[in-house]
Amino acid sequence: MQDIIHLLPDSVANQIAAGEVVQRPASIVKELVENSIDAGASSIQVLITDGGRTCVQVIDDGVGMSETDARLAFERHATSKITSADDLFTLTTMGFRGEALASIAAVAQVELRTRRAEDELGVFLSLAGSKVEKQEPVACPVGSNFAVRNLFFNVPARRKFLKSNQTELSNIITDFERIVLTHPDIAFSLSNNGTEIYNLPAAKLRQRILDVIGKKHDPDLVALETETTLVSISGYVGQPQAARKRGQHQFFFVNGRFMNHPFFRSAVVRAYENLIPVGEQPSFFLYLAVNPSSIDVNVHPTKTEIKFDYEQDIWKIIHAAVKEALGKYANTPSIDFDTEGRPDIPAMESRMNYLPKQPSVKVDKNYNPFNLTGHTIAQPHASSNWETLYPDVPSQSEAPGPTHLWSGALDNPFDVDNPLDCMGGGGATMPDTGNAGNPLAPHGSSADSLTFAGKSAFADSSETEKTPELTSSTPFFQYKGRYVVIPDSNGLVLVDQHRAHICVLYDQYQHSLFKQPGASQGMLFPEVVTFSASEMVLLDTLMSDLEFIGFELANLGGGSYCINGIPSCIDSANPIKLLHDLLASAGETNISIRESVRNSIALTMAKTVAIPYGQVLSEEETRLLLAQLFLLPASRYTPDGQVVFTRISHSVIETSFKGHK
């Protein structure tokens, strides 16, 4: 019987190793730029072609390499960073494995021009699929110039899984930002297809952060600095009012290296408790300095997962440092000394003359609450007076249909058949269902009850056979302006009204967006919005879709746009915040087709326009919201996975009272 175990050829072994190190063009940028930093470069240029598919070029002014070093650098496990295993626990360089160049050369065509200061001529190397094709002397400046072309040219199965050019460029920008934020003392530039995206001169940390995320965030940054025997922490955290649901900048760095650390992130988020709304996220840029022997970066080839000694203690230090920084910010009074040109408003001489008169209270001393003769007993209101709560709403007699809740296209967010008037015009009147006395009943349903076919969204897992019935007389009440409590045959159902409205609007927007051009509403006072470099990349992809649904944006240059018009259906939303949220959502989902764009925009718009927590709804509005929610094919969760309603079963209620007399 023949032996079956054999050594793989170097070319195959290198391709296997490359699968861990080189996953996409962004991996090449990260590895090459980190090598440039280790080489002592003071200026690094990154040139991208077609999102890195065609070419990734990194040019630095570092120490360069000799002819022998240049050739040896492309061999596996060849490195100048460490010499023994003990060095892994005292790392001060970005790279150390000696796998990056070998892995890149195994799956791409690589050209290198490099020269040291003491050499008159440099060396030129050309490799493809780990094989050296050419080596010769060349005249070149001091430093290194790597050009990596045709990534995965020899592994077509890997190449076909690359995303669109815009998506790959977005990933490159993400890795690029992580590096430049760690080394503000180095000048960086990034270009794609000849268009400059970043040009970052060497600067102090705060300036580098603002150069990356935008100068508009300067007032939102709160400085943080603390030093202990375990860890030194410095950097900046965002003010609570700058928190957003998505798209926030959250960075952890340790010893000059970016890291992902969900455990430490929870320490920061916990410090913002009771300062920001639930679901929103703060920004932070935190730089940790620890003893290199107390961390292990040799966990994953990307070197972004790092293990710490004393993680629990460092968590407490981070939490306390962030709370202290936020506390100092909150306790600092804001004094505005710039009063030039402001009107001089004199102080009131006698403040009492301007105070309203106190109401007088008359008490009937002869009133007897047990004597009902001659007194009228106040009757409870049968329903809330929604006409008083919403004075601009026409009365039911004035409405052209059976129920006209709010005027305007999306000022009536509960409109069933006309979810997005801005997409095609028309009124916001509810359709005549033939059941004017029952605002809950849809077309063709009985005025006595409303039964939803199929599996009930209300039902527990043990009650999937039962279908709830909601009638025009079903009682309910609003709790804390947030939940609607409904009794049914299986218990009490609690509906989150904000999330319920998100589901309704999302379904309406999905069926209306991109069906026909949306109506645009000109802004009386146009606003200027400034986008970061990463947002600009996504904006190029989304611009045609934004214009289609009604946005009118004029390019002012430098990443700034003037908002001249917005979709008429979102006139109550903040257009600047909405645009940033749309781009953030698009970046998270790596959109590449219009369907994904539509879903992303529909969800973001629904969250922006949905009724806020704390808003009191009338009985008619609440019934209509419930009707629309439970007619949806999926109403248990919002499109992003949040629970819309839940049930407290009878058994749970009864159990809680057992043993109590």
Which of 242 and 335 is assigned the larger pLDDT?
242
What is the band of 363 on the pLDDT scale with cuts at 50, 70, 90?
Answer: low
What is the band of 328 on the pLDDT scale with cuts at 50, 70, 90?
Answer: confident
Q: Does the residue 405 lie in any domain?
A: no
DSSP 640: T
Same domain, 93 and 171: yes
Same domain, 561 and 617: no
Q: What is the pLDDT of residue 165?
A: 87
Q: Does the residue 419 lie in any domain?
A: no
Pick from 182, 200, 218: which residue ends a domain? 200
Kindly tell me if the per-residue pLDDT of 416 is higher than 50: no
Q: What is the pLDDT of residue 409?
A: 31
Kindly tell me if the per-residue pLDDT of 36 is higher than 80: yes
Pick from 166, 200, 234: which residue ends a domain? 200
Kindly tell me if the per-residue pLDDT of 599 is higher than 70: yes
Q: Does the residue 119 lie in any domain?
A: yes
Same domain, 303 and 445: no
Q: What is the pLDDT of residue 588?
A: 63
Same domain, 49 and 130: yes
Q: What is the pLDDT of residue 641?
A: 82
Q: What is the CATH number of the domain that holds 447?
A: 3.30.1540.20
Which of 211 and 407 is assigned the larger pLDDT?
211
Q: What is the pLDDT of residue 546?
A: 83
Other CB atoms within a 10 A radius of the CB of residue 511 amount to 12
What is the extent of the structural domain holding 481?
A: 424-508+613-656
Total count of domains within the chain = 4
pTM over 0.75: no
What average pLDDT does range 335-341 have in this prediction? 48
Specify the range with the lowest mean pLDDT, choosing from 54-58, 119-123, 172-176, 510-514.
Answer: 510-514
Q: Which residues of 107-129 are buried (b: 16+ CB within 10 A; e: fewer)?
A: bbbbbbbbbbeeeeebbbbebbb
Kindly tell me if the per-residue pLDDT of 554 is higher than 70: yes
What average pLDDT does range 14-37 have in this prediction? 80
Q: What is the pLDDT of residue 627?
A: 85
Q: What is the pLDDT of residue 437?
A: 34
The residues near 306 (Cβ < 8 Å, ≥ 6 apart) are 254, 257, 259, 261, 295, 296, 297, 299
Q: Does the residue 336 lie in any domain?
A: no
Q: What is the pLDDT of residue 577?
A: 81
Q: What is the pLDDT of residue 9?
A: 66
Kindly tell me if the per-residue pLDDT of 516 is higher than 90: no
Specify the range with the lowest mean pLDDT, choosing from 33-37, 181-185, 370-374, 609-613.
Answer: 370-374
What average pLDDT does range 571-593 have in this prediction? 69
Which of 385 and 112 is assigned the larger pLDDT?
112
- Percentage of residues in the chain having pLDDT higher than 90: 28
Same domain, 192 and 218: no
Other CB atoms within a 10 A radius of the CB of residue 539 amount to 19
Kindly tell me if the per-residue pLDDT of 502 is higher than 50: yes
Same domain, 62 and 151: yes
Kindly tell me if the per-residue pLDDT of 433 is higher than 50: no
Specify the range with the lowest mean pLDDT, choosing from 373-377, 434-438, 634-638, 653-657.
Answer: 434-438
Kindly tell me if the per-residue pLDDT of 63 is higher than 90: yes
Same domain, 501 and 534: no
Q: What is the pLDDT of residue 453?
A: 32
Other CB atoms within a 10 A radius of the CB of residue 631 amount to 14
Other CB atoms within a 10 A radius of the CB of residue 33 amount to 26
**Most confident option among 65-74, 407-416, 544-553, 583-592:** 65-74
Q: What is the pLDDT of residue 349?
A: 46
What own/partner pairs with CB < 8 Å and gap ≥ 24 does 592-600 have? 592/163, 592/164, 592/166, 592/167, 594/514, 594/545, 597/542, 597/545, 598/510, 598/513, 598/514, 598/545, 599/510, 599/639
Q: Does the residue 398 lie in any domain?
A: no
Which of 13 and 30 is assigned the larger pLDDT?
30
What is the band of 247 on the pLDDT scale with cuts at 50, 70, 90?
Answer: low
CA distances, 163 to each of 28, 47, 58, 318 (Å):
15, 19, 22, 37
Q: What is the CATH number of the domain that holds 167?
A: 3.30.565.10
Same domain, 297 and 431: no
Rounded to 5 degrees, φ, ψ at 349 are: -70, -45
Q: What is the pLDDT of residue 369?
A: 55
Q: What is the pLDDT of residue 452?
A: 32
d(CA 271, CA 609): 29
Q: What is the pLDDT of residue 293?
A: 82
Q: Read off the tokens for 467.
A: 């279908």
Q: Does the residue 44 lie in any domain?
A: yes
Q: What is the CATH number of the domain that holds 534?
A: 3.30.1370.100
Answer for the pair 249, 283: CB distance below 8 angstroms, yes or no: yes
- pLDDT tens digits for range 174-229: 999 999 999 999 999 999 999 899 999 999 999 999 999 888 889 999 999 999 99
What average pLDDT does range 349-365 have in this prediction? 53
Same domain, 470 and 597: no
- Percentage of residues in the chain having pLDDT higher than 70: 67
What own/partner pairs with CB < 8 Å and gap ≥ 24 does 496-499 have? 496/643, 496/644, 496/645, 497/611, 497/613, 497/615, 497/617, 497/622, 497/625, 498/610, 498/611, 498/612, 498/613, 499/610, 499/638, 499/642, 499/643, 499/644
Which of 29 and 88 is assigned the larger pLDDT?
29
What is the band of 37 on the pLDDT scale with cuts at 50, 70, 90?
Answer: very high
Same domain, 50 and 190: yes
Same domain, 151 and 239: no
d(CA 208, CA 198): 11
What is the band of 367 on the pLDDT scale with cuts at 50, 70, 90?
Answer: low
Mean pLDDT score across all residues of the chain:
75
What average pLDDT does range 138-165 have in this prediction? 90
Q: What is the pLDDT of residue 572?
A: 62
Kindly tell me if the per-residue pLDDT of 580 is higher than 60: yes
- pLDDT tens digits for range 277-318: 877 889 999 999 998 888 876 555 556 678 888 889 999 999
Kindly tell me if the per-residue pLDDT of 480 is higher than 70: yes
**Most confident option among 166-175, 509-518, 535-544:** 166-175
Which of 341 and 489 is assigned the larger pLDDT?
489
Q: Does the residue 464 lie in any domain?
A: yes
Same domain, 41 and 125: yes
Q: Does the residue 623 lie in any domain?
A: yes
Q: What is the pLDDT of residue 399?
A: 36
What is the band of 617 on the pLDDT scale with cuts at 50, 70, 90?
Answer: confident
